[in-house]
Structure 1
């Protein structure tokens, strides 16, 4: 049995995996050590399990399309004085098989057995499919 847990999160505003990567490469999305991060209001209660090998799975346009390893969770205090959680990510983005996901707020835990598998390395350089085709193939379980 796996001893880690993943997170799943909507990538609001991302049109594709490429636009997610572009945003993360901007200075605003990086920690002082140059690693990408995502700041969220809630601190995961299952922090220890996440840090044992968990990833964040990104939902883009209603479909899980990629993941990134979570390296650490940093405390961030906003200008409003509220404590937040910066999820610090490995910059390497792993494309996954497409899996449909309905909208939700915040992040959720995702068990390893429920996570879509990574695409084989031979397919990582494939051109991205149009969103409607990607979604249709995910609906019938082809991807």
Structure 2
């Protein structure tokens, strides 16, 4: 069973902000990448179908499938991890999270479900979904 990563989406106030960042950095549906300092020791488990779950405004709201984890050294000689992501943003059931630094492992059984026709909420406008989350009713 795949292991997931959990990461704060710093600088984004909404899923729309994340979409704009994706469209700027990986236009045309190309895979996108997020660079972080630490490299996961459990790479093989993550690459078995894991996703990066984004925490936006203290709530997990969306995920992206992880395509690869690449270790590299930046221009200053610091080792980094490039998380290569599928450009598709999959909305999830909202799940509150406290702030943290870096990333965390997220076990499959702790990951929020994807929003779909079966679970409901997939057709809500993003601004209404955001307001319901802010009010704590969803």
- Superposed displacement of residue 132, structure 1: 5.0
Aligned partner (choices 108, 111, 119) of residue 115 of structure 1: 111
Q: How far apart are residue 80 of structure 1 and its match? A: 0.4
1:84 matched to 2:80? The reply is: yes
Select 2:49's aligned residue among 25, 46, 53: 53
* Cα shift at 1:125: 3.6
Q: Kindly tell me: are residues 115 and 79 of structure 1, through their superposed partners in 2, closer, same or farther at Cα, counting changes over 3 Å?
A: same
CA distance in 2 between counterparts of 1:21 and 1:132 reads 18
2:13 counterpart (2, 15, 27): 15
1:70 aligned residue:
66
Deviations along 1:103-122, whole A, 9 cap, x unmatched? 00000000010010000146
Q: CA RMSD in A?
A: 2.0
TM-score normalised by length of structure 2? 0.88
* Aligned residue-pair number: 133
**Contact 2:47-2:68 within 8 A present in 1 as well:** yes
Q: Report the counterpart of residue 37 of structure 2 in structure 1.
A: 41
Per the normalisation by structure 1, the TM-score is: 0.85
Instruction: Answer whether contact 1:8 1:59 (CA < 8 A) is retained.
Output: yes
Q: Post-superposition shift, 1:79?
A: 1.2
1 CA distance for matches of 2:33 and 2:113? Answer: 23
Structure 1 residue 130: Cα displacement? 5.7
Counterpart of 1:140? none
Q: Structure 1, unaligned stretches of length 5 or more?
A: 138-142
